Structure 1
Amino acid sequence: MERILHFPEYCVRLAKLRYRISPLLSGYILITLIVLAALIEAYVSYGVLKAETDRELTTFSDMVARNLQRSVQEADVILRHVTVAFEDEQWLGYSGRGLQSDDFKALSESSPEVAEIFLLGADSKLIRQADKRDGRKPIGEASAESDFFRVHRDAQDVGLFVSDSFLDWASGEVSFVVSRRLNHADGRFAGIVGARFTASKIEGLVASLLSGKPFAALVCKTNGRLLARHPFSEQAMSLDLSADPGLARALAKPRPVLGEDGQLIGGMQGEVVELVSPVDHAVRLVSFSWIGSLPVLVGVSTRQEDFTERWIGRLQWIGITSLLAIVVVLVLLRTIHLQLNKIQREKRRLETITDAVRDPWLILDEDGTIIRANPAARRELCLPEASAHWSNALNSEKSVLDRLPALDGAPEKQQCRRYDGSVFPAEASAARLQWQGRAMIMLQLHNVEERERYQASLMRQAYCDEVTGLPNRALLAERMARGLAAAKRYGYFCGLLFIDLDHFKRVNDSLGHAGGDALLRKVGERIKEIARHSDTAARFGGDEFVIFLDRISGRSEAVKCAQRVLDAFEQPVLVDDRHLVVSATVGVALFPADGDTPEQLLKNADAAMYEAKARGRKRIGFYGRETGLRIERHLELDMALRGALERREIWVAYQPIVDAHSGEVVKAEALLRWTHPSLGAVRPDEFIAIAEENGSILDLGIWVLQEACNLSREFKARSGRSLKVSVNVSAAQFKDSDLPRIVDRALRRAGITPEELELEMTESVLVSHAEAVNERIDGVKQLGISLALDDFGTGYSSLSYLTRFPFDTLKIDRAFVSRLPDHLPSLELTKAIVAMAKSLNLKVVAEGVEDELQADTLRSMGCEHLQGYLFGRPVDRDTFLDSCCATTG
């Protein structure tokens, strides 16, 4: 019964649906019909075009056949005249009567396609020949085995015979012969008379008949031998078409019937077949026609591709017309659709405006009963689908709000309830309105749960470290500013502990960044346990943590807290089932002694921490005046070093290295020097370390290398002998640069050989980056550059380096040389180094030689080269060249 009552409503909906869809459906049907019509037209056009092409090919093949038939018939008339004259013995050379040579010439010129008329005797010797005198040579003597001679000789009733094509050796043209038999009075074979046709003239005749049509034509015998082709092709003239299926189909047709006048009875005889051209290997449509009753056919063809292109051209016009029709239909459909939308727009206007509101809104009566709710309210409040199940919004167990906000007032924040019992924070506002003629209240809700969650997330991101959850720099700075302000006001002390984990990079390298983050979280938990409730434990960045000590009694309390930090790392840290032994270094700065602002305390505590690391790590460092001065000096040099090369403050000094026995200068070591206009001369060990930190050592290294190579070139130009220049290479150059390419470029720019350059490195380079060093050393050695190990014996002194790396020279540090010969341990150790170098075929250079006694001691040990103040101090380039080149000269 219920379905019966609702049936009219379904009918109304169906009628509306038909009203909206019927124009669209009609349009789609019309478009479909247009497409079908276009397809049918394309199919029909293909048939029409095919018929037109077939008809055209048949017409032209018949026309060419008729014209060739005419030419052959004219030639046959000539041959018949000659035959009759020969049989009546009227030929020139018998009685001198009848057909004369001029008459013979006139007969041969009556047919323009005939190249020449010739007469052969029974022995195949040439009796008479009439040519067109166009510059070609006359025909040569025919072979007795020529098909046209052999056929007439062996049979009497052959009649008119068409030979295969051949290359006439006299004229150099591809030709064929039309011939008749000559008989004596008693019927014996007397010879032949023939008319020679050239393929070029036949091709010219066909070309004139086709009138520029994109057709090809061929003339062939029934045995498949090709006589002529348009366009002419030497390749085609040698082809045999006897196996071609298209030619076979043409030969299967009966020969044409000729009337008494020699004309074809029954109209056109051709049939279009499809074959693959043996010349251009293209698929072609061909129409064959017989040349009269002769065993010769004419084929006119066109490429299937050309036919397809013509059909596609027609399809384009069909497609354009169809598309224009479809566009017109679409425009009409669009117009109808817009009109339908305009009719429905007014009906949906109110619902669109109200339902488009993103925030939930309810229309309540004066008692709080829900009259209407938009879709957003239904979703947000989980209202039932049927409005009959909605409860009172204010006075029920499932009430939305505890109280109604002030009418027409500002939004109020309240806790809203959903029908499932869950609550969410919202801003509620109420306004009076008229709804269906009654006074109603419109209640609007705005969910602020996501906003509050987002604000909390922003606070965490702004003030908390995402890895450890500890306060970050921003929150630390705020708390330090408040703590220091209170300390200034009430006169108590504060402290700052700057904590840095020792060798944290090794953890990242072995466990990865995920393992490193896990370790940082564990460390953060321990540091948070160490800090007092009033303190702030924060992660400063990387593996650095900070504890701000608020309200301490003095230095002793800061020391106790710093010691608790060191003690906290005595126990291993468990990370991913691994027990890691971690240590830390702590820098301490106090307020107000070491700074009265957060920035000063952080900077000075950081400086104290680095000072402690320099003394051996896992210890506590305190900020002092000397520490500050060293840091200021470091910063000042760092800033001044940037651009020092461009300002020409950096220069290269060269110290000679001499042969231990002859005293001749054989090498020079390039030493970097820096003279600042206000700071004066800066020690190399001081500014080179800074250059390695800020990365400027790479540019300095390239520049020094090029300067050293230029010195070697200049020395050779002035003294006439080579000078090897030794250049120190830092760890950064081995790690962060393409050292072999840089060295090769410096050599090529200076124009010196690899034997005139030596690179020096210290043991510390080999320890820090062994893998990268090995790769760079291989590249340098491939260039032919020698390598020297500098300061041997003062660093790690691992003997394995001497076997792992292909060094050429070993340099003994000045620390051993300066004590010779009185200090026995230094003496014995130096002897051992020299002996070891000799056993490894290494050259030895002793540094720091300052007196003759030291030099004699080293000579007696077998040291090859000496370097030191005894032989020359480091000097600039010009001074070195002037002194060393003058000494050499």
Structure 2
Amino acid sequence: MNFRLETAHPQDAPEREILRGLRVLLVEDDAVARCAAAGILSRHVGTLWEAADGEEGLRLFRQHEPDLVVSDLVMPQRDGLSLARQIKAESPVTPIIITTSHSDSSVLLDAIDIGVERYVLKPLRAQALLDAVTACARTARLEAEHRLTATVFRASSEAIMITDTENRIVDVNPAFTRITGYPRSEVLGRNPRLLQSGIQSDNFYREMWAAINQNGHWRGEIWNRRRNGELYPEWLTLDRVLSPEGAVLNYVAMWSDISERKEAEARIHYLAHYDALTDLPNRVLFNDRFNQALLHARRYNQAVALMFVDLDRFKVVNDTLGHRVGDELLKQVAERLRQCVREEDTVSRQGGDEFVVLLTGLDTSSSAALVAEKILAALAQPVYFEGHELAVTGSVGIACYPGDGADPETLMKNADLAMYRAKNVGRNNYQFFSPELEQGALFRLTLENAMRRALDRDEFALHYLPQVDNPSGRVLSLEALIRWHHPERGLLLPDQFIPLAEESGLVLPLSLWVLRRAARQLAEWRSRGLALVPIAINLCEAQLRQPDFAEAVSAILEEEGVEGRWFELEFTEAALMYDTERNMRVLTELKQLGVGITLDDFGVGYSNLNILRRLPVDTLKIDRSLVSDVTRSEDDAVIVDAIISMAQSMNLKVVAEGVETADQAGFFKARACAEIQGHFFSKAVDAEHIAVLLGTAS
């Protein structure tokens, strides 16, 4: 038996570390030799499998895929060379150690040809075996690291370029070719300056190399040029490689193309600072420019003008033609505003149809008036889109630094107040801010807050204006008119607070309060045995836009125990002529409750008779502006005659409102207009006065 057991010399720490995790397959047909070899290996390696012959060894290799194989040379069935040949065919990187008592050179040459890494002569010496195993493990680890490095080099998504000490390119990876467009063969031996974009200065590169020489590395963003001449941004990492002695061996550059990231950053910056629809600066960018403009104006004692521009009746375009047409209108308006100002000025869209214009470096604030006139003239020009001719006007409010405010917030508020003043005086004009506007705004804010509390405090009341038969004076119906018993200002009429209620949205709860109070009053009169007549209630477009308005009316009628036939709901001509499909649905739902529908203020708008025929309207109320001059103006008389004739042909009832004199009453009597309302017969009175009239009528 050619075996001799020796005690192995202690391994140093690095070698023990190499062997500790090693997985070894031992193949030996001699049981005693296998046991002895296993005793040596098992004390040092991580895992050990044992096989008694070559066939079992091949099976265990395929099952466990060990890191290293130690095999006897001479074995029955499959010898060590046959086993090694099969293992190398299946796993060329697995190291193999052959143990043998033969020193035949031809056998050793065959082993070398197969790829066997080491052989150990028998009788085995423990140290020789462990030295061979350690050497194979160390070589395998280095080869694995090299393979990993090569794999990373080839597979990296980042470009990698290696240069020598003379800064000549010695190797590049496939990602280099993909990013730069240069094939490997074209750049080997050349200087990397062939990639330079020309954007960075010579001083930039001097500082970069100074950092590399001092610190051994450099990181940063840089622009380079592709083979086709295209410039692109990259994130570059440049490292110096030193020998153990500290001599420079190579420079390794790694970079990634950050074009997409830069584009994404630019897109994010754009979305954060510009309006996506109009390409105008948004609030964020505008506020920054506004602050900078004020700082400059303070330093050089100049004026700055802020203009609020709001389109008049833009909502009508959106409601009738759709948001796509509305968006196109906004884009064309934005371009016109841009053309009205200088390059150093700023036009911004604040949202919806609101724009602001910042005029900087003005000698006097009066210069803003010239720009405002230019803007109004530009907006007045028709806009054409997909066969539509759109006419739009604007209301402009102007506040100037330093007279109207010293900070952006104050100037914005004051320009907004001036813009609302422009709307209130007729639209399509511009107004400068004045202190009186601020006082008026404070009054409106105070009134609005008081109005919100007034509902809870039951400060509102209803008065009723009779609509009577002409000429008998018999009460045919009533119009409910809201009054506010303000605790400080006394009795307020609707024109003193209803416009503010419409602006603030309070008109919706107020309208439902009026409807409920009127229903409750009808129920109370009915309980007293009085003869009931319908009550007309004025509503606005806001109610038509509420999807559950008809349901709310139905609930009030049911809760108060009053039938719908005792109510007539009045809408202005302007409210019903737009978004007719929506109005048709809402009015139809109301008609199903039994209520009547009245078209109020008829004759002063742009009536569309085709739309009027489709709407479920019962009554037309002739506007009081026509009634007041009907006996003095032939034109008004002709219009009134036409309205009465048209209404009769459509089987609609006609009511003349605002009848103040006997002549006016006679005019309508002669034309068979049997129902009038106005101070000629009675002013609006409270419920107790109406009870007297209803009692007389019964």
**Structure 1-normalised TM-score?**
0.52
Q: Which amino acid aligns with 2:289?
A: R
State the 1:796 CA deviation. 5.5
Q: 2:414 aligns with which of 591, 604, 607?
A: 604
Question: Quick one: distance in 2 between partners of 1:876 and 1:806?
Answer: 31
In structure 2, do the counterparts of structure 1 residues 441 and 423 end up closer, same or farther at CA, with 3 Å as the change threshold? farther
- 380 and 856 in structure 1: CA distance in 2 versus 1, 3 angstrom threshold: closer
Which residue is equivalent to 2:167? 368
Q: State the match for 1:726 in structure 2.
A: 536
Q: Is the CA contact 2:220–2:236 (under 8 Å) kept in the aligned structure 1?
A: yes
Matched, 1:408 2:207: no
* SS of residue in 1 equivalent to 2:497: helix
* Cα distance between partner residues in 2 of 1:383 and 1:827: 89
> 1:478 Cα deviation (Å)?
1.7
Relative to structure 1, the CA distance from residue 838 to residue 719 in structure 2 (aligned partners, 3 Å threshold; closer, same or farther) is: farther
* Offset, 1:457: 3.2
Q: Per-residue CA shift, 1:491-510, capped at 9, x if unaligned?
A: 22222333445565566678
Conservation of the 8 A alpha-carbon contact between 2:172 and 2:184? no
Q: Does 1:483 align with 2:293?
A: yes
The alignment status of 1:440 with 2:249, answered yes or no, reads yes
Question: SS at 2:306's partner residue?
Answer: strand
Structure 2 counterpart SS, 1:427: strand
Q: Is the 8 A contact 2:167 2:251 kept in 1?
A: no
Give the SS at the match of 1:747. Answer: helix
Q: CA 1:643–1:444 in structure 2 vs 1: closer, same or farther (change >3 Å)?
A: farther
Choose the corresponding residue for 1:765, options 564, 567, 575. Answer: 575
Task: Select which of 535, 542, 554 maps to 2:345.
Answer: 535
Shift of 1:625: 3.5
C-alpha displacement at 1:697, in angstroms?
3.0
Q: What corresponds to 2:515 in structure 1?
A: 705
More moved, 515-524 vs 487-496: 515-524
What are the ranges of 5 or more consecutive residues in structure 2 without an aligned counterpart? 1-84, 95-139
8 A contact 2:658–2:678 mirrored in 1: yes
SS at match of 2:577: helix
Task: Report Cα offsets for 1:289-316 as digits up to 9, x if no partner.
Answer: xxxxxxxxxxxxxxxxxxxxxxxxxxxx
Q: CA deviation at 1:713?
A: 2.1
**Counterpart of 1:534 in structure 2: which amino acid?**
E
Structure 1 residues 599 and 668: CA distance shift in structure 2, 3 A: same
The verdict on how the C-alpha distance between 1:665 and 1:592 changes in structure 2, with shifts beyond 3 A counting, is same
Task: Provide the C-alpha distance between the structure 1 equivalents of 2:473 and 2:282, rounded to a whole number of angstroms.
Answer: 65
Distance, in Å, in 2 between the alignment partners of 1:551 and 1:885 is: 70
- Report the count of equivalent residues: 555
Distance 2:381 2:404 in 1: 32
The residue that corresponds to 1:430 in the other structure is: 239
| Partners of 1:12 and 1:399 in 2: CA distance | 51
Deviation at 1:453?
3.7
Q: 1:147-296 residue pairs with structure 2 within 5 A?
A: none
Unaligned runs of 5+ in 1: 1-9, 20-343
- Distance in 2 of aligned mates of 1:571 and 1:663: 52
Letter in 2 for 1:558: A
Give 1:689 deviation, angstroms: 3.0
How far apart are the structure 2 equivalents of 1:570 and 1:856?
A: 44
Paired amino acid for 1:773: N
1:776 matched to which residue of 2? 586
**CA–CA separation in structure 1 for the residues paired with 2:662 and 2:311:** 51
- Give yes or no for contact 1:698–1:737 (8 Å, CA) kept in 2: no
| CA-CA distance at 1:583 after TM superposition | 5.2
Return closer, same or farther for 1:818/1:382 CA change in 2, 3 Å cut-off.
Answer: closer
Instruction: Quote the Cα distance in structure 1 between the aligned partners of 2:343 and 2:453.
Output: 49
Residues 409 and 664 (structure 1), Cα distance of their counterparts in 2 relative to 1, 3 Å cut: same
8 Å contact kept, 1:733–1:739: yes
Letter in 2 for 1:16: S
User: Aligned-pair distance for 1:591?
Assistant: 1.8
| 2:188 partner letter | S
Matched letter for residue 15 of structure 1: E
Q: How does 1:103-182 map to 2 (within 5 A)?
A: none
Q: Does the aligned pair in 1 maintain the 2:655–2:676 contact within 8 Å?
A: yes
Q: 2:357 matched to 1:547?
A: yes
Contact kept in structure 2, 1:587 and 1:608, CA below 8 Å: yes
Partners of 1:789 and 1:811 within 8 A in 2? yes
Q: 1:823 to 1:542 in 2, by over 3 A?
A: closer
The higher radius of gyration belongs to 1
| Percent of residue pairs bearing the same amino acid type | 36
Residues 726-776 of structure 1: per-residue CA shift (max 9 Å, x gap): 222322223434554444433333333343222233333333344433443
Shift of 1:488: 2.0
Residues 1:513 and 1:771: Cα distance change in structure 2 (over 3 Å): closer
**For 2:320 and 2:471, how far apart are their aligned partners in 1?**
53
Question: Counterpart of 2:188?
Answer: 391
1:859 CA drift (Å): 6.9
**Residue identity in the other structure for 2:479:** E
Distance 2:239 2:252 in 1: 5
Question: Is contact 1:671-1:874 (8 Å) kept?
Answer: yes
TM-score normalised per structure 2: 0.64
Closer, same or farther: CA 517–436 of 1 in aligned 2, 3 Å:
farther
Once the two structures are TM-superposed, the CA of residue 718 in structure 1 deviates from its matched residue by 1.2
1:347 and 1:373 mapped to 2: Cα distance? 21
Partner of residue 16, structure 1: 91
Assess, with a 3 A threshold, how the Cα gap between structure 1 residues 855 and 583 changes in structure 2: closer, same or farther. closer
Question: What is the rounded CA distance, in whole Å, between the counterparts of 2:87 and 2:625 in structure 1?
Answer: 109
Separation in 1 of the partners of 2:224 and 2:158? 13
Q: CA deviation at 1:564?
A: 3.3
Using the alignment, how far apart are the partners of 2:196 and 2:665 within structure 1?
Answer: 105
Cα deviations by residue, 1:179-204 (Å, 9 ceiling, x for unpaired) = xxxxxxxxxxxxxxxxxxxxxxxxxx
Q: Is the 8 A contact 1:821 1:854 kept in 2?
A: yes
How big is the shift at 1:671? Answer: 1.9
Q: CA deviation at 1:524?
A: 4.0
For 2:74, the equivalent position in structure 1 comes to none
Deviation digits for residues 411-464 of structure 1 (CA, Å, limit 9, x no counterpart): 255444566665544433324445999863453434454444444333333333
Q: Is the 8 A contact 1:414 1:428 kept in 2?
A: no
1:375-415 Cα distance to aligned partner (Å, 9 max, x none): 655644556467xx752474675799977433425525544
CA contact (8 A) 1:391 1:398 kept: no
User: One-letter code of the match for 2:91?
Assistant: K
Map 1:739-888 onto structure 2 (within 5 A): 739-792=549-602, 805=615, 807-811=617-621, 845=655, 847=657, 864-865=674-675, 867-868=677-678, 874-875=684-685, 879=688, 883=692
Query: What SS class does the counterpart of residue 722 from structure 1 fall into?
Result: coil
Structure 1 residues 835 and 516 mapped into 2: Cα distance closer, same or farther (>3 Å)?
A: closer
Mapped partners of 2:682, 2:318: distance in 1: 49
- Residue type of the alignment partner of 1:411: R
CA contact (8 A) 2:597 2:616 kept: yes
Name the counterpart of 1:459. Answer: 269
By relative contact order (CA 8 Å, sep 6+), the higher-ranking structure is: 2
Paired letter, 1:427:
L
Q: 1:408 to 1:829 in 2, by over 3 A?
A: closer
Distance in 2, Cα, partners of 1:516 & 1:848: 38
2:171 touches 2:184 (CA, 8 Å); kept in 1?
A: no
Counterpart selection for 1:653 from 433, 439, 463: 463
